[in-house]
Amino acid sequence: MEYLIPYALEWLNLLFRWLHIITGIAWIGASFYFVWLDNSIRPPAPGSDLEQKGVSGELWAVHGGGFYNPQKYLVAPSRLPKELHWFKWEAYSTWLSGFALLFIVYYFNAQAMMVDRSVADLTSLQANAIGLGSLLVGWTVYDLLCRSPLGKHDVAFGAVIFGFLLASAYVLTHYLSGRAAFIHVGAMIGTMMVGNVLMLIIPGQRKMVNAMMAGAQPDPVHGIKAKQRSVHNNYFTLPVLFIMISNHFAMTYRHPHAWAILGTIMLAGVLIRHFFNLRHKGRVEWKYPAAGVALLLALAVVLAPARPQAAQAANDSRAQFAQVRQIITQRCVSCHADQPTQPGFAAAPSGVMLHTPDQIAQNAQRIYQQTVQLKAMPLANLTNMTDAERAQVAAWYEAGAKQE
Ligand code: HEC
């Protein structure tokens, strides 16, 4: 039965990843919608019925063949409606499914996914403890900062929390593999966002509703506190979404200064988000997305691979290919096979199989990119590929990746 464990984990991975994306879309989608709504509503005409009712803003929208007219009440309506919709399970289930994925993908296969022995030679337990600890430390520091006087100054607070996340990325990339470090910065931010919903936003709303049910005026302070956290969540969205797809981009997390690269991309995300927030309010300020795009372009220049040295055409390309094939068989095929022999792997990762000469030739460009340019493969260098072997792969590819 034990041989089925990696296969079972592969299914859990599939199911939880699917769920995570669905709930994540529902959560961030609802959150984008409400931010847009809040920024787009306009006050009703002075003295109108709406104003008398306590409506502070409204708008009209058409969607899916129907007309909608949402209205926002400042603090609360005078009477509690019979049916009130809350938005919280989107956030909770995104966090829960993401937390499960951390175990399924990372912690249960820590030597391959968490540890990079060229960074720090950790045991699985140590690496997993650092991962879980980062979530706890992240939330604690963030929550204390929010409650401190700094929390009242949005821009200063943003700068400090950005610095804190950058420092966390620095520390994590010096203990964990690049991909694990990135995903944990993302999980830290995700935990802050869900913590805000669970600990501040929903309890605040509940206190307001309870006050109304007791026939009292709800205290606006709850709304103000919730608003602060919800502004933070809004600016976290684009950075966290990049991090969730960052594992596809070894060029970002494999870099010696991966923490700085992550910081640059997060900053670009915040600037672009800021543009949309302002635009909903009717202010179009192109300088923000322009700065974000400029940062990304600068990054593209910094990350560009070095020009390959003009390789001498090998005298005997057949012998050269035979050597490369031997290296790949020894260093790659334990994972990149239909039925991997590497413990913890159930299927060829990313569908890449490297058994046959044809498969190697077909994947030549990706092999070169992953083993020479990015040094992202073999994963965690579990199969101990040497620099001399990488140089052989480079020489083969640069001489035209000939098969014969
Ligand atoms: C310990 C298991 C393991 C070993 C050994 C390994 N890989 Fe991989 N490889 C993976 C995993 C897991 C992925 C999935 C990609 C990801 O999530 O980044 C992958 C992805 C890839 C990809 C696709 C990358 C992309 O996103 O396009 C290529 C190409 C690749 N590996 C080549 C190699 C080569 C060449 C070797 C040998 C030098 C090798 N791998 C050794 C686990 C391994």
At 80 the pLDDT is 85
State the distance from the centre of ligand 1 to the C-alpha of 135, rounded, in angstroms.
Answer: 28
Q: What is the mean pLDDT of residues 298-307?
A: 92
Peptide bond into 378 cis (omega under 30): yes
* Ramachandran category for residue 84: left, alpha or beta (phi over 0 → left; psi -120 to 50 → alpha): beta
Summarised one tens digit per residue, pLDDT across range 98-140 is 999 999 999 999 999 999 999 999 999 999 999 999 999 999 9
- 154-159 contacts: CB < 8 A, separation 24 or more? 154/231, 157/232, 158/235, 158/270
Does residue 165 register a pLDDT over 80?
A: yes
Does residue 4 register a pLDDT over 90?
A: no
Portion of the chain with pLDDT greater than 90, in percent: 77
Q: What is the mean pLDDT of residues 267-293?
A: 94
Beta carbon of 367 within 6 Å of any ligand 1 atom: yes
State the distance from the centre of ligand 1 to the C-alpha of 179, rounded, in angstroms.
Answer: 13
At 312 the pLDDT is 66
CA distance linking residue 266 with residue 154, whole number of Å? 17
Among 81, 86, 88, CA closest to 212 = 81
| Top mutation candidate among 377, 381, 385, 397 for ligand 1, by most atoms within 8 Å of CB | 377
Residue 329, CB-side half-sphere exposure with 13 Å CA sphere:
9
The answer to whether residues 281 and 39 touch, using CB atoms and an 8 Å cutoff, is yes
CA distance linking residue 114 with residue 212, whole number of Å? 49
Beta carbon of 363 within 6 Å of any ligand 1 atom: yes
What atom in ligand 1 is closest to the CA of residue 112?
1
What atom in ligand 1 is closest to the CA of residue 380?
1
Summarised one tens digit per residue, pLDDT across range 243-258 is 999 999 999 999 999 9
CB contact set of 292 (below 8 Å; sequence gap of 6+) = 267, 268, 269, 270, 271, 272, 275
At 315 the pLDDT is 75
For the record, the structure tokens of 164 come out as 């804190």
State the distance from the centre of ligand 1 to the C-alpha of 348, rounded, in angstroms.
Answer: 9
At 141 the pLDDT is 98
At 346 the pLDDT is 87
Summarised one tens digit per residue, pLDDT across range 317-358 is 888 999 999 999 999 999 999 889 998 888 899 999 999 999
Task: Pick the residue whose CA is nearest to atom 9 on ligand 1.
Answer: 349
State the distance from the centre of ligand 1 to the C-alpha of 69, rounded, in angstroms.
Answer: 51
At 311 the pLDDT is 63
Task: Pick the residue whose CA is nearest to atom 13 on ligand 1.
Answer: 349
Summarised one tens digit per residue, pLDDT across range 57-88 is 999 999 999 999 999 987 778 888 889 999 99
Task: Pick the residue whose CA is nearest to atom 1 on ligand 1.
Answer: 379
Summarised one tens digit per residue, pLDDT across range 189-225 is 999 999 999 999 999 989 988 988 888 888 888 888 8
Does residue 310 register a pLDDT over 70?
A: no
Q: Which amino acid is at 129?
A: A
| Top mutation candidate among 330, 379, 386, 390 for ligand 1, by most atoms within 8 Å of CB | 379
